[in-house]
């Protein structure tokens, strides 16, 4: 690892210094467009080189400390990580701010000068395809907005701390503790707290959700100027255990709290230790259920999903454009891939590649149109379900009899701005699924909707 810290950054540092050296004469001669591009490339190379150097050094030091902990506690992997064993566990907001600004600065160091050059050449030559290069600049602006948003969140709420009452959480037992937020969060009527088991690949931060559960915390406690959020989850015995080595992929258990606060929403995410119980450890029975009922559940104030109950049954209406952030994210992706496909078609790029990228853009565009204009109306009675899906309330209606309804399931389908969204689907006894609603902001709300519909069917 020390050799990596010395060797790997050298090409980036030398390339960055060379680009800066070439850019200085261009600036002296007044050729500012090329000077800005070379300067951006030079700064990007130097930033990447230095980041690799210090990153390798930090990783080597962390691995030395990890080896010492492994030798001290070979049978207790939950003590191998300093952030777990030394406690309390800090949330990831500070790391998120650093990562957001790093990505935004690196991207814009290359994309913005290139976009300015493309605009200049497009105005000079009249070549319309050059305007497509500005898509990369637009993405850079979006990355800057994201970094500014993360910074505002961190400045307002600081770093939240997690104090575990069960260390670690054993599969088949419970994970309980309290989150200590630095500000008063009593402006939020409820604070959803989610626990997810996620399988991730090495080098990735997100992956497939293996198991998840959510609690609605409606009571919080003041402790000086901070807010204390208590939680307790029952852990399933069959779920996979945490991977004790950070950054190596595997399984990650994540605890997340969200609250809708005027201005900037509160968000805190923690990686928590969940392991199989050691041999000889007997878990005591817990009175905390894996899934709680919905008798006291109240929809989030920000939810636009309408649920009405009449003498005929229960009707659920999912209007168009319910969530702005996922729609904007998918739309931006569609514009990027669609614009890139058009650019490749106008140039001499391989036609197979150009059409493949264009088709990807078109598929994402359809998904964006569904988020902006898609609606779903579900009526559940003792006789069955009538499902009307389409755009802006217009679409075909299908009837599924009660005898063909096996279950109504929920599943995490997408993530946007560190928030997971769930789909609601009808599982047919005859085979297949019918998606009833997409991009429901909270899985708990999706589970409540499923419960209401099943009750209307007499289940």
* pLDDT average, residue stretch 4-23: 73
The two tokens of residue 457 are 């069917």
State the pLDDT at residue 289: 44
Strand partners of residue 254 = 196, 271
Question: Which residues have a Cβ under 8 Å from the Cβ of 131 and sit 6 or more positions away?
Answer: 118, 119, 122
DSSP conformational letter for 20: H
Q: What local confidence, expressed as pLDDT, does residue 297 receive?
A: 72
Report pLDDT digits (tens) over 380-433.
999 889 988 888 767 788 898 989 888 888 877 776 655 677 888 888 888 888
Contacts of 244 (CB under 8 A, 6+ apart): 77, 78, 80, 81, 273
pLDDT at 273: 93
Residue-level pLDDT at 255: 93
Contacts of 444 by beta carbon, 8 Å cutoff, 6+ apart: 192, 214, 215, 216, 297
Query: Are the CB atoms for 249 and 240 separated by under 8 Å?
Result: no
For the stretch 40-93, pLDDT in tens is 777 777 877 777 777 777 777 777 877 888 888 888 888 888 888 887 898 888
SS3 88: coil
Q: Whose CA is closest to 81, among 8, 157, 167, 178?
A: 167
SS3 350: coil
> What pLDDT was estimated at residue 129?
65
CA 83 to CA 62: how far, in whole Å? 12
Report all structural domains of the chain as residue ranges with CATH numbers, in order of start: 2-157 (no CATH), 161-275 (2.60.40.640), 306-456 (2.30.29.30)
193, with CB counted inside 10 A (0-12, 13-18, 19+), is buried
Rounded Cα–Cα distance for residues 204 and 76 (Å): 25
Q: What is the mean pLDDT of residues 163-172?
A: 89
The string of pLDDT tens digits covering residues 280-324 is 666 664 544 444 556 667 777 778 888 998 877 899 998 888 877
* Mean local confidence (pLDDT), 443-456: 86
Q: Percent of the chain scored above 90 by pLDDT?
A: 4
Does position 206 have pLDDT exceeding 80, yes or no?
A: no
Contact 299, 448 (CB under 8 A): yes
Which spans in 311-442 are helix H? Answer: 324-346, 351-373
Residue 264 C-alpha from the chain's centroid: 17
H or E segment to which residue 152 belongs: helix 134-157
pLDDT digits (tens, 9 = 90+) for 325-370: 778 888 888 888 887 787 777 766 677 777 888 888 888 888 888 8
Edge-to-edge strand list for the sheet holding 314-318 = 306-309, 314-318, 374-381, 384-391, 394-401
pLDDT confidence band for 222 (50 / 70 / 90): low
Of 278, 274, 259, 275, nearest in space to 177 by CA: 274
Give the burial class of 319: count Cβ atoms within 10 A of its Cβ; 0-12 exposed, 13-18 middle, 19 or more buried: middle
Q: How many CB atoms lie within 10 A of CB 58?
A: 11
Q: In which band, very low, low, confident or very high, does the pLDDT at 218 lie, cut at 50, 70 and 90?
A: low
Q: Is the dihedral of CA 368, 370, 374, 377 positive or negative?
A: negative
Residues linked to residue 222 through DSSP beta bridges, in sequence order = 227
Using only C-alpha atoms, the chain has a radius of gyration, in whole angstroms, of 26
Q: How far apart are CA 163 and CA 179, in angstroms?
A: 6
pLDDT at residue number 69: 81
Q: Give the whole-number percent of the chain exceeding pLDDT 70.
A: 86
What is the biggest distance separating any 2 CA atoms in the chain, rounded to whole angstroms?
A: 81
What count of other Cβ atoms lies within 10 Å of the Cβ of residue 114? 20
Contact 195, 212 (CB under 8 A): yes
Return d(Cα 310, Cα 379) in angstroms, integer.
Answer: 10
Q: Which of 81-85, 104-108, 246-250, 321-325 has the lowest mean pLDDT?
A: 246-250
CA nearest neighbour of 336 among 360, 355, 313, 319: 360
Residue 217 has pLDDT above 50, yes or no: yes
| pLDDT value of residue 288 | 46
Tell me the pLDDT band of 275, cut-offs 50, 70 and 90: very high
Query: Rounded to whole angstroms, how far apart are CA atoms 300 and 445?
Result: 8
Q: What is the dihedral of CA 255, 268, 329, 148, to 10 degrees?
A: -160
Identify which has the larger pLDDT, 386 or 9: 386
Angstrom distances, CA of residue 232 to CA of 179, 294, 309, 311: 11, 17, 32, 38
3-state secondary structure of 100: helix
Helices (H), 347-380: 351-373
Q: In the predicted model, what is the mean pLDDT of the chain? A: 80
Average pLDDT estimate for 83-104: 86
């Amino acid at each position: 690892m020390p050799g990596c810290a010395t060797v790997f950054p050298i090409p980036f540092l030398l390339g960055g210094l060379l680009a800066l050296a070439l850019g200085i004469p261009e600036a002296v001669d007044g050729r500012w467009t090329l000077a800005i591009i070379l300067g951006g490339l030079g700064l990007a190379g130097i930033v990447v080189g230095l980041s690799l150097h210090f990153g390798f050094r930090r990783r080597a030091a962390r691995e030395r400390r990890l080896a010492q902990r492994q030798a001290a506690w070979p049978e207790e992997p939950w003590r191998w990580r300093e952030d777990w064993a030394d406690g309390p566990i800090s949330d990831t907001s500070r790391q998120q701010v650093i990562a957001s600004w790093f990505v935004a600065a690196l991207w814009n160091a290359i994309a913005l000068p290139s976009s300015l050059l493309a605009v200049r050449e497009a105005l000079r030559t009249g070549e319309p395809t050059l305007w497509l290069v500005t898509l990369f600049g637009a993405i850079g602006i979006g990355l800057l907005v994201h970094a500014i948003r993360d910074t505002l969140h961190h400045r307002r709420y600081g770093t939240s701390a997690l104090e575990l009452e069960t260390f670690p959480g054993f599969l088949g037992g419970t994970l309980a503790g309290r989150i200590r937020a630095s500000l008063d969060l009593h402006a939020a009527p409820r604070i959803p707290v989610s626990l997810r088991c996620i399988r991730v690949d090495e080098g990735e931060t997100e992956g497939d959700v293996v198991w998840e559960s959510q609690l609605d915390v409606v009571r919080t406690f003041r402790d000086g100027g901070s807010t204390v959020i208590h939680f307790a989850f029952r852990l399933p015995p069959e779920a996979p255990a945490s991977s004790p080595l950070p950054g190596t992929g595997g399984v990650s258990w994540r605890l997340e709290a969200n609250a809708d606060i005027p201005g900037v929403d509160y968000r805190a995410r923690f990686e928590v230790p969940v392991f199989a119980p050691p041999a000889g450890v007997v878990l005591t029975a817990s009175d905390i259920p894996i899934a709680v009922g919905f008798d006291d559940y109240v929809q989030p104030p920000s939810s636009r999903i309408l649920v009405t109950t009449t003498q005929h049954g229960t009707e659920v209406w999912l209007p168009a454009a319910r969530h702005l952030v996922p729609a904007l994210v998918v739309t931006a992706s569609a514009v990027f891939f669609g614009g890139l496909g058009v650019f490749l078609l106008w140039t001499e790029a391989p036609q197979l590649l150009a059409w493949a990228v264009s088709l990807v853009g078109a598929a994402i565009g359809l998904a964006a149109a569904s988020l902006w204009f898609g609606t779903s109306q579900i009526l559940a009675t003792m006789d069955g379900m009538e499902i009307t899906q389409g755009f802006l309330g217009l679409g075909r209606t299908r009837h599924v009899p009660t005898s063909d309804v096996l279950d109504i399931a929920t599943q995490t389908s997408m993530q946007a701005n560190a928030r997971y969204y769930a789909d609601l689907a009808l599982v047919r006894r005859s085979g297949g699924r019918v998606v009833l609603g997409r991009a429901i902001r909270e899985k708990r709300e999706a589970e409540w909707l499923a419960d209401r519909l099943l009750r209307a069917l007499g289940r």
